[in-house]
Amino acid sequence: MITVYYKSGSAQWKYELEDSEHDYIIKNVLEDKPDMNEMFEDSLEILRDISAMDEDEMEEDDEIDQTIAVSFLWHYFNNLAEDGDRIEGDIVLIEDEDGTGVTVLPAAGIEAE
């Protein structure tokens, strides 16, 4: 199971994916040979947009986009990030107050609480 925690303003959520679902998504994403930096930015933008929605506003396409974004970001920080930025295991994404960036932390300390 992979887990990504996300916080933006007052919006907070925990998103979990089974390993098999994550592996399937990443296999398909990587087969398309995307620009990794663009995919990274797009994934963050998707999470920002979805965090601003009410739950009843989300459509199936939004849920699919969210699932792909979460899976990609987890994969990115566990496998693609430079050594100093690499995280082993689950991640926490905290949107900066001014919306100009995101802080990424390992979730190990949060999960223990």
**Can you give the pLDDT at residue 113?**
47
How confident is the model over 37-64, as pLDDT tens digits? 999 999 999 988 888 888 788 899 999 9
Contacts of 18 (CB under 8 A, 6+ apart): 1
The full 3-state SS of the chain, as one line of letters, equals: CEEEEEEECCEEEEEEECHHHHHHHHHHHHHCCCCHHHHHHHHHHHHHHHHCCCHHHCCHHHHHHHHHHHHHHHHHHHHHCCHHHCCCCCEEEEECCCCCCEEEEECHHHHHC
Q: How confident is the model at residue 31 (pLDDT cuts 50, 70, 90)?
A: very high
Kindly report the pTM of this predicted structure: 0.87
Task: Tell me which residue range forms the domain holding 105.
Answer: 2-112
**70, 15 contact by CB (below 8 A):** yes
How confident is the model over 13-25, as pLDDT tens digits? 899 999 999 999 9
Q: How many domains does the chain have?
A: 1
